[in-house]
Homo-oligomer: A and B are copies of this chain.
Amino acid sequence: MEIAGIRDMLQAVQNGSMAIDAAMEQLRHLPYEDLGYAKIDHHRAMRTGFPEVIYCEGKTIAQIQGILTAMMGRGNRNILGTRAALEVYEAVRGMAPDVVYHELARVIVFHRQPIEIHTNGYICVATGGTADLPVAEEAAITAETLGNRVERLYDVGVAGIHRLLSNLDTLCGANVVIAVAGMEGALASVVAGLVERPVLAVPTSVGYGANFGGLSALLTMLNSCASGVSVLNIDNGFGAGFQAATINRLTAKEP
């Protein structure tokens, strides 16, 4: 509830152009759309210029379809569906003309307008291993759909440090680096020691035994002795892509 919006409403009430009950009604209905099982917040996407987002896990297909219909009825923003199983894609692919499913990343993109790149720089997504690709791709596609250029640098884990060191140009040239790693998750620390830009660390659940479902990599990243690292939830590629886009947007402040 942006304070400016309240001020506008107060002015409308003061100058008589809006009744009090209407203002009360406004407060209740304007900023989102109520489907009963979901309350869709069109407001945020409108302000940021970012696409609308649906986190599909834990929702029934009928609920997802309902939310999509509501979103498509409001403007023509692109829509990003994350954690979407194949059957979700199959149930919604017919709902718009240009729908792309990124299977590895489990992401559906409803392209309803061209994606515009507003920044000069790029976001670099690096992984420790090959098995981290699904999370990395979720991050990369999210960042791309939110209007960023992305460079991928996969399988550059610290056990063979030369693979990382021989790609310093790509790494150091980025505005933001997303470091995705499972097992011991040491990639983030090493990367943060090499670059001078913000590093977003994404632990993955890749590994077994004492990785405890990603806890190992998570703790590694939280305890990084390198400065300039902040951490996302385990396997949260979307969150990393979104935060990277939010940071990168700062470089394009005055359009």
Give residues in A with beta carbon < 8 Å to B. 1-3, 6-7, 10-11, 13-14, 16, 20, 23-24, 27-29, 31-32, 36-39, 41, 43-44, 47-48, 53, 57-59, 63, 128-131, 133, 152, 154-163, 165-169, 172, 175, 183-186, 189-190, 192-194, 196-198, 200, 203, 205-236, 238-240, 242-243, 246-248, 250-251, 253
Neighbouring B residues of A242 by C-beta, 8 Å: 227-228
| Nearest CB of chain B from residue A232's CB, rounded to whole Å | 6
A228 to chain B, nearest CB (A): 5
With A and B bound together, what is the CA distance between A16 and B15 in angstroms?
Answer: 10
Known pairs A39-B163, A184-B222; list 8 more (Cβ under 8 Å): A11-B20, A14-B20, A31-B166, A161-B193, A197-B250, A209-B218, A222-B234, A247-B250
User: How far does the Cβ of A236 sit from chain B's closest Cβ, in whole Å?
Assistant: 6
CA A133 to CA B39, docked complex, whole Å? 13
A-B residue pairs, 10 tightest by C-beta: A58-B131, A209-B234, A186-B186, A230-B230, A159-B226, A216-B219, A159-B193, A28-B166, A3-B168, A1-B162
